[in-house]
Amino acid sequence: MRKIYSSVDIGSSFIKIVVLEDLDDKLNVLASICHPSDGVKNGLVVDDVKLVNSLKVAFAQVNKSLGITIDKVIASVPINNAKYTLNSGYTTITSVDKVISSQDILNALQSSVYNKIDENMELVTTMPIKYIIDDKAEVKNPRGIVADKLSVYSMTVTAPKKNMYKYIGCLSEAGVEVVDILFNSIGDYYAFKEKEFDNSVVAVVNIGNDKTELTTFNNGIITNSTLIQDGSSLIEDDISYVYNISKDKAKKIKEMFLVLDKSYASNTELYETKDNSNMKIKINQYEVSEIAENKLKEILEKSKKELNYLTKKEIRYIIITGGICNIPGAESVCFDVFTEQTKIKPINVIGIRNMSYSSAYGMVKYFINKLNLRGREYTMLSDDKQYRLIENRKNEDTSSFKIGKLFGRFFDNKEE
């Protein structure tokens, strides 16, 4: 059965939207958009009107490419001042056959967070750490087991309401309903998740435009996070200052000309432009690459230091992502700082082979994981939109879709 999911990652520089089709446990990209963002700074909304306008344009592009309107999404929310709390709860199995169902699992998880969230905080997600059957046997997946009682230990992830409600409000104003929320770093983890991560401590370093998010995971469970107010725009600042050119020109040089590892740069290749005094200048690739490499190493070294404060356990793998990782030479610089711990690899999915989409793509993967926990099937398209998408895709000689069932937020038991 095919199901359709969409997610949006709202950054300070770009809004990334992906629409994915889940067919036989494989995700295929139906549409992807990376549109300039406005109204966001350091992960927080600073101008509602500008952000709403940016969102409207971004979604209009997605809608045009699909021929339908996408109006339900999984949305990223700020990780600023997030809290991670270990909790426990339980539920009594009341069915006649005493077989643990998906609803029993959900009841246990709800019990673990009931009355345990601060008034100014909002629940982002609850990650089950382990389940215990009748206060005896410990299991990872209790569904189908006969028992009288199901207990759970979980990690409750919360964030300030005022931060995330701004995002949700802007999306609503743009005509989009948020069916689930998530941190970018959880999306990044799931985008690059490998089997060995399940028994390891893993860190995620997401280098954004004006900030870098650092997050740790233990055995697949998020445990801590922090932000450093340094991002890839600092490379543009340095280039702009050294060569006395505009930020726009510096950004173009960063994205199109330089190499992040100067050892791969050319000493003879030149970039010709005009400085702020309207004087013609020639920028040497090796020299400008050295500037960029030094700044990236500075960000990574600071990240490495901060990660030591996030966990006392040895970090076995470090996932490094963000748009900066698309620039040639990024991988070797990251290896210089983090050595064998580094994990940088492209998203091997046709349509989004770009590190900028890692959060949006991974959020859908995590959402599907939660669906499996509930034992539910779901699609973000109504019957009418499903039919129109089928008709649109018939013109492209593609196959048809079947319909899933709507359900809303993860902890909302009401069916639509």
Q: What is the CATH number of the domain that holds 142?
A: 3.30.1490.110
> Residue 214's domain is classified under what CATH number?
3.30.420.40
Question: How far apart are the C-alpha atoms of 341 and 319, rounded to whole Å?
Answer: 8
Say what percent of the chain tops pLDDT 70: 93
pLDDT of residue 389: 75
The label of the residue with tokens 């435009």 reads 209
Query: Mean pLDDT across the chain, nearest whole number?
Result: 89
Phi, psi (deg, nearest 5) at residue 296: -65, -40
CA dihedral for 123, 127, 133, 136, sign (positive or negative): negative
Kindly indicate the confidence band of residue 412, based on its pLDDT and cuts at 50, 70 and 90.
very low
Helices (H), 200-246: 233-243
Check whether residue 218 and residue 327 sit in a common domain.
yes
Identify whether 166 is part of a domain. Answer: no
Pairing of strands 72-76, 3-10: parallel
Identify whether 156 is part of a domain. Answer: yes
Check whether residue 132 and residue 235 sit in a common domain.
no
Kindly indicate the confidence band of residue 355, based on its pLDDT and cuts at 50, 70 and 90.
confident
Under a CB-based contact definition with an 8 Å cutoff, are residues 390 and 400 in contact? yes
Question: How far apart are the C-alpha atoms of 342 and 88, rounded to whole Å?
Answer: 34
- Tell me the per-residue pLDDT of 71-113, one tens digit each, with 9 for 90 and over: 999 999 999 999 999 999 999 999 999 999 999 999 999 999 9
Q: How far is CA 361 from the centre of its chain?
A: 7
Kindly indicate the confidence band of residue 399, based on its pLDDT and cuts at 50, 70 and 90.
very low
Check whether residue 151 and residue 211 sit in a common domain.
no
Under a CB-based contact definition with an 8 Å cutoff, are residues 163 and 174 in contact? no
| Number of domains comprising the chain | 2
Identify whether 286 is part of a domain. Answer: yes
Identify whether 30 is part of a domain. Answer: no
pLDDT at residue 396 tops 90: no
Looking at per-residue pLDDT, the higher value among 353 and 337 belongs to 337
Question: How far apart are the C-alpha atoms of 183 and 188, rounded to whole Å?
Answer: 9
The label of the residue with tokens 């020109």 reads 249
pLDDT of residue 159: 95
- Tell me the per-residue pLDDT of 257-303, one tens digit each, with 9 for 90 and over: 999 999 999 999 999 999 999 999 999 999 999 999 999 999 999 99
Kindly indicate the confidence band of residue 313, based on its pLDDT and cuts at 50, 70 and 90.
very high
The label of the residue with tokens 């020299």 reads 287
Under a CB-based contact definition with an 8 Å cutoff, are residues 31 and 4 in contact? no
Domain limits at 317?
Answer: 198-345
pTM for the complete prediction? 0.89
